[in-house]
Structure 1
Amino acid sequence: MTSLLIRNARLVPLGAGETAPDAPVDIAIRDGVVSAVDAGLERPDGVEELDAEGRWAIPGLWDQHTHLAQWTLSSQRLDLAGARSPEHAIRAVAERIAEYPDLPVIGWGHRSAGWDREVTVSELDAVSGDTAVVLISGDGHHAWLNTTALLHLAMPVRDSVVRETEWFAAYPRLATLVGNDGTSPEAYRRMLDESAARGIAGLVDFEFGAGVEEWVERWAQGCDLLRVRAATYSHLLDQVIEAGWRTGDPLADDPRLTMGPLKIISDGSLNTRTAWCCEPYGDAHRLEYPAGQPNLSGDELREQLGRAHRAGLEVATHAIGDAAVQEALAAYADTGARGSIEHAQMARRDDVRRMAELGIRASVQPAHLLDDRDLTEKIWGERSERCFAFRWMLDDGVELALGSDAPVSPLDPWLAMAAAVHRSADERGPWHGEQALTVREALATSVDGQPTVAPGSRGDVALIDRDPLLRDLDQADTASLGTALRTMPVAATVVAGRLVHRA
C-alpha cells in the first residue's frame, strides 16, 4: 500500500443528483486510501506526485465476473465466433491442422444454437485424424470434441457434444493437452497490464477448477498489479473451510488479494439451451429437456449455500433462466446466505423485487445482450422483454454490478457500459431500450460500490481524457453515447496509491 498525490483532477459525480467542484482539485492517497480531496494540497516528503492536467478522475473500475485463465488463453485459440454453421467450423479446424499439423486445436466462441442442426464427433474425426480437437462454445457450457480429445481427456467416447457439469469437470484437464504456457505468470501479467490500461482496478476471478493457492503463488510471482477476489467452487469448499478463509479475508498477507465467494452453477446457458426456464424453449422439439434443467437439486443447492454461509463465505449463484433465478432466491431465503445472482439473464418482475428484498446483488454482463439478442428473440420470444432487465433492477432497489464473463465477452468495462446504455451493437436501435441504464448509472455500477472519489474511499483512481459522463452529448442519442463509451481514452490507473498504468 503506497501514497500518492494526484494534482489537478476533475471529480466525476456518480450519485444521482450529486455535484462536483467545477475546478480541478488535488487527491491525496495515503497508505492506499484517499485521505484528502481539495485544491492546493501540500505534498508530504517522499510522496510521488502525478499531474492529471485537468483530466477526469473516477474510482477504479471493476469487472465483477471473469474467468482469467481462459481469458489469458483466448488469444492462442482458434477463433470460431464467426462460424455460422458446423461446416464453417469444420473448415476452420481443417485449415488450422494443415497449418500446424503437430499441435492440438483448441477453438473458442462458436454459438451452435443458431445452427440448423446438431453436430457430431464423427464429422470432426473425418478432418482431424489423430490431432486432438476441442471446440469450446462461446458460453463455455459445452464443447465439441473429436474422439482423440475425448480419449485424451478420459471421457467416454460418444458422437455428441459434452455439456454442463461433465464439461466443467473435464476442463482443467485441458492442460494435459496444451500445457500451461498460456497461464504462466508472464501471460497473467500481460493480461493485468491490458486490464489496467482500461482503467480497471479490480477483478473477480471465477476460473473453473482453480484453487485459491494458485493465486497466492501467482501473486508472489509478480501478478500483484490489481485487486483480485479469488472465488472457489464446491469441489474445493472443504479445503477453503479448513483453511479458515472467509470472503474478504486477505490472502498472501495483502489486502489487494482477497478470498472471494463460493461459485455455484445452478443451471446452464441460452446458447447450449440448458438454462432452466419456467416455460419451454421455442425450439423445444429439438431438446432433451424442453425447458432446460437445473444442474443441482433444490436440496443440493441449499446444502451448498448453507455450508458456505456458515463458513463465512458469500455465494455467487449462476442463474440464467427465470426458473433458476426463482429457485436460487428461494434457496438464499431458506439458508440466510448472502451474495449474488450471476447473470440473472431472464427474470420475472416479482423475482427482481424479491432479489431487492433479500439484499441479493445482481452481477450482470451487459455485453452478452449484444450476442444473444437474435437468439433470444428466436427461442424465448416475448420473454425477451424481461431479459437483461437492468432498469427493473435499479428501480426496484437491487444492487447492480457489471462484468464481462471474459472470455465470453471481452474484458472491457467500457464495452459493458456501452451495452447497458445503448443495448445494440449494429445499425438497429436499442433492444428493449426501456431496460437501458443512463451513462451515470452504468459508470456507478462499474466501480464496486465506491463513491465519487472522496476521503475514505479506496486509493483506486482512473484518470480519463474526456468527461466519462459524456455531458457534452445528447443523452437521448444512445448510439453516440455507446460509441463514445467504447472508445473512452484512459490516461492513467492507480491502485491502492500505486500507479499501474500511464498512457
Structure 2
Amino acid sequence: MTSTDGISARADRPQEALTLTRVRLGAGGPLGALRVEDGRITAVGEDVSGDGAAVLDLDGRTVLPGLWDAHVHLGQWASVRHRLDLAGPKSARAVAEAVRGHADGLPDSEVLVGYGFRDGLWSDVPHKDLLDVVSPARPVALVSGDLHAAWLNSAALALVGRGGHPTGLLREGDAFEAVSALPEVPVEVLDRWVAEACAAAAARGVTGVVDFHFADNIADWTRRTATRTPAVRVDATVYPRYLEAAVAAGLRTGDVLPGTGGLVRVGPLKLFTDGSLNTRTALCCDPYPGLEGTEEAYGIAETAYDDLVRLMRRAAEHGIEPAVHAIGDRANTVALDAFAEVGCRGRIEHAQLLTAADLPRFAALGVTAGVQPAHATDDRDVADRHWAGRTGRAFAYGDLLAAGARLEFGSDAPVSPLDPWLGIAAAVTRTDDERPAWHPEQRVPLDAALTASARGRAAIRVGDVADLVVVDVDPPKADAATLRAMPVHATLLGGRFTHGPGPGTS
C-alpha cells in the first residue's frame, strides 16, 4: 500500500501484533521468524508464536533494518518530480532545445522550471541568450544538478529582480536567492507532492529521512503532520535564520515535535563552508585547472571561520548539533577545525575530498560523515577533470571506514534520486555503468553499506522499533544490477505497513 490516504488510514488504526514467518533475518542471515508488538520487535528466532498476532508468511524473503536517507532536500525533490528533467543533455545548446520542446506544452503564464543540468564537462557555456532564443517571453529558470547554480533567461532574471545580469548564470548565494524569489506552488500542492515523494521512498524501503530542505522545516513538518501521516520518519533540520527561534522554543536535536505522532524530530543546524564540485566552488587546497590566478581559483568560502565557530557554539550550547556542508579538502579541514575548537559532536555533509591527515579526525572528534555514494559514480568524470591527480582521496569511503569514522548514507536528492539502493550499490561497486570500478580501493563492504544506510542499525534485534524492509533478493546474493534495482516487497514503520502486502494478503 503506497497511497497517502491508505497510509493515513492504516496509521490511525490501533496497533496490532504481527508475526513474520519464513523470513531471512538480516542479509545472509538464517531463516526464522520475528514478532512485532506495540511497534517494537519483541521476539526473534525459530519459534516466536503468540496469541492474537496476525501472521504474514514471507516465503524466504529477507528482512533488514529500515533504511534512512540521511540527506534529502525533500521539498525540492518532491518538486523536481514534476519539473523538466535536464539530466540527459550534454551541452548548453542541447538544454536550450529541451526547453524549446517542453515550453510548447505549458500554459502561457507558467514559469518553466527545469532541474539537473551539469555543465562541468560541457564545451559550451550556459548563457541567457541561448534561452532567450527558444523562450523570449516565458520566464525560464533552470537549476543545476548540484543545486549550486541557476541558469535564467532574461524574462526570469527580470522576474527575480536581476534584469541587468550579464550572463544569466548565477552561482551559490545568488542562485539560491534567485530560485527562492520565483513564484512558489501553493502550500497545499507542495505538501501533497511531499507526501507522494515520501510514499515513493517507502516503496524503496525507506523508513526515515533527514530533511535539509531550504526552508523553515520545523514549521513545515508541524503543518504537514496535522493533516496527514507521513510514510517516513523525518529529522527536520534548522537553518541559521531559524536558529534563535529554535533556541527560544527550547528545541534540541532529537526532540520529537509535538503533534507529529512521534514521527518528526528536530534535526541538526545546517551550515555551509563551501560550494560544489560541478560548479567549481568547492573550497580546495589546489587550484582548479584553467582558473589559476583568478579570485576563485581555489573555490569559495561560504562562511567565514569565526562565524562558523560562533554559530556552531551557539547551537551546541543549546543542544542542537551542527551539520556542516564541506566538499573540498580545504573546506573539510576548516569544518573539522571548527568542531575541534567548539568541542561538540555533529556531522560533516558530503566530505567529498579529504587530506590524509583529516581522515582520522572524524572518529577522534566524534563527527559523522554524512556521504552520498551515488555522487562518486555520478561525478567521476567531473572529478577526473577538475580534481586531476587527487581523486584517490575523493569520495574516500573505504579510507574513512578504515579510520573508524561513522558513515551515514544519503542521496542529497534531488542531486541523486531518493533511492538508497543506488547508493548502496555505488558504495559496494564504485561504478554504475559498464566501466571498471573507479578507485576500487575505496569500495565499502556490503554489510557496512547496509549499516550506513540504516543509521547504524546492523541487525534485527529484540527491543528495536519495528522499522523494517523486506526484500525479494538476499543482498549478498544480488549482482550489481539487482542491488541497484532491489525489489522491495514490503516496508514497515513502527510495525505498520507503508508499502506492500499486509497480513492476510498474497
Compute the TM-score of the two structures, normalised by the length of structure 1.
0.92
Correspondence for 1:352 among 314, 335, 359: 359
Aligned to 1:498: 496
Question: Closer, same or farther in 2 for the Cα pair 1:399/1:177, shift >3 Å?
Answer: closer
> Of 328, 331, 352, which residue of structure 1 is paired with 2:335?
328
- Identify the residue that residue 68 of structure 1 maps to in structure 2: 74
Question: By how many angstroms is 1:340 displaced?
Answer: 0.8
Are the counterparts in 2 of residues 101 and 131 from structure 1 also a CA contact under 8 Å? no
Distance 1:286 1:485, change over 3 A: farther
Contact 1:76 1:182 in 2 (8 A): no
Is this contact kept in 1: 2:89–2:117, CA < 8 A? yes
Partners of 2:238 and 2:179 in 1: CA distance: 15
Tell me the residue number matched to 2:345: 338
From 2, 5, 8, the equivalent of 2:21 is 8
Structure 1 residue matching 2:60: 3-state secondary structure: coil
Match of 2:5 in 1: none
1:308 is paired with a residue whose SS is helix
CA distance in 2 between counterparts of 1:421 and 1:182 reads 38
208-217 or 280-289, which deviates more: 280-289
SS across alignment from 1:469: helix
Partner of 2:420: 413
Task: Determine the C-alpha separation between the residues in 1 that align with 2:232 and 2:308.
Answer: 32
1:393-472 matches, within 5 Å, as 393-470=400-477
Map Cα deviations across residues 264-294 of structure 1 (whole Å, 9 max, x no partner). Answer: 1211000110000011012325964011021
Cα distance in 2 for partners of 1:182, 1:462 equals: 29
Pair 452,262 (structure 1): closer, same or farther in 2 beyond 3 Å:
same
- 1:179 is displaced (CA, Å) by 4.3
- Aligned pair partner of 1:231 in 219, 222, 237: 237
- Does the 8 A contact of 2:93 with 2:130 survive in 1? no
Tell me which residue corresponds to 1:377: 384
Q: Deviation string for 1:172-226 (max 9, x for gaps)? A: 333x255456513x32222121111111111111001233111011112214221
Displacement after TM superposition at 1:378 (Å): 0.8
1:36-115 alignment to 2 at 5 Å?
36-45=43-52, 47-100=53-106, 102=108, 103-115=110-122
Q: Secondary structure at the match of 1:303?
A: helix
The range that moved more, 246-255 or 162-171, is: 162-171
Of residues 144-153 and 257-266 in structure 1, the stretch that sits farther from structure 2 once superposed is 144-153
In 2: Cα distance, 1:458 partner to 1:158 partner: 53
Assess if the C-alpha contact under 8 Å between 1:192 and 1:223 holds in 2.
no
Separation of aligned partners in 2, 1:39 and 1:5? 15
Q: 1:295 to 1:392 in 2, by over 3 A?
A: same
Corresponding residue of 2:227: 221
Q: Could you tell me how far apart the structure 2 residues matched to 1:304 and 1:466 are?
A: 46
2 CA distance for matches of 1:435 and 1:310? Answer: 36
Which of 302, 315, 318 is the equivalent residue of 1:311?
Answer: 318
Instruction: Give the secondary-structure state (helix, strand or coil) at the position aligned to 1:148.
Output: helix
Kindly indicate whether the alpha-carbon contact (under 8 Å) linking 1:11 and 1:453 is maintained by their aligned counterparts in 2: no
Equivalent residue number for residue 4 of structure 2: none
- 1:9–1:229 CA distance, 2 compared to 1 (3 A): farther
Q: Is the 8 A contact 2:21 2:55 kept in 1?
A: no
- Unpaired runs of 5+ in structure 2? 1-10, 502-506
Q: Which amino acid aligns with 1:187?
A: W
**Equivalent runs, 1:140-151 vs 2, <5 Å:** 140-151=147-158
Tell me how many residue pairs correspond in the alignment. Answer: 485
How far off is 1:445 after superposition?
1.1
Q: CA contact under 8 A between 2:268 and 2:323: conserved in structure 1?
A: yes
Amino acid at match of 2:23: R
Q: Distance in 1 between matches of 2:22 and 2:467?
A: 14
Matched residue, 1:476: none
Contact 1:121 1:147 (C-alpha < 8 Å) held by counterparts: yes
**Structure 2 residue 179 is the aligned partner of structure 1 residue 171:** yes
Match status 1:248 vs 2:254: yes
Q: Comparing 111-120 with 165-174, which one deviates more in the overlay?
A: 165-174
Tell me, yes or no, if the aligned pair for 1:362 and 1:401 is still in contact at 8 Å: yes
Is the partner of 1:406 in helix, strand or coil? coil
Question: Would the aligned equivalents of 1:321 and 1:345 in 2 still touch at CA under 8 Å?
Answer: yes
Structure 2 counterpart of 1:290: 297
Partner of 1:485: 483
Distance 1:291 1:329 in 2: 19
Partner SS state of residue 367, structure 1: helix
Following superposition, the deviation at residue 468 of structure 1 comes to 1.7
Q: CA deviation at 1:150?
A: 2.1
Q: Is residue 451–residue 457 contact of structure 1 (8 Å, CA) maintained in 2?
A: no
Partner of 2:35: 28
Match of 1:264 in 2: 271
Matched-pair contact (CA < 8 Å) for 1:417–1:442: yes
Question: How far apart, in 2, do the equivalents of 1:444 and 1:9 lie?
Answer: 23
1:212 to 213, 218, 221: 218
8 Å contact kept, 1:233–1:263: yes
In structure 2, do the counterparts of structure 1 residues 397 and 9 end up closer, same or farther at CA, with 3 Å as the change threshold?
farther
Task: For 1:125, give the aligned amino acid.
Answer: D
| Cα contact 1:198–1:490 (8 A) shared by 2 | yes
Say if 1:292 and 1:182 are closer, same or farther in 2 by CA, change over 3 A: farther
Quick one: structure 1 residues 286 and 54, their matched pair in 2 at CA, closer, same or farther if it must change by over 3 Å?
farther
| Aligned AA (1:303) | R
**Worse-superposed segment, 2-11 or 385-394:** 2-11
Contact 1:204 1:231 in 2 (8 A): yes
Partners of 1:225 and 1:81 lie apart in 2 by 28
Deviates more, 1:390-399 or 1:460-469: 460-469
Counterpart secondary structure, 1:259:
strand
Q: From 184, 199, 204, give the equivalent of 1:193.
A: 199
* 1:341-381 CA distance string (max 9 Å, x none): 10001101210111111010011101111221111111111
SS of the counterpart of 1:250?
Answer: coil
Instruction: Report the residue type matching 2:92 in the other structure.
Output: P
8 A contact 1:168–1:208 mirrored in 2: no
SS in 2 for 1:58: strand
**Which stretch has the larger CA shift, 148-157 or 406-415?**
148-157
User: Deviations for 1:32-75, whole angstroms, at most 9, x for unmatched residues?
Assistant: 22122133323343x44333232211000111000111111112
Cα deviation for residue 323 of structure 1 reads 0.3
Q: 2 CA distance for matches of 1:39 and 1:179?
A: 52
Unaligned 5+ runs, structure 1: 474-480
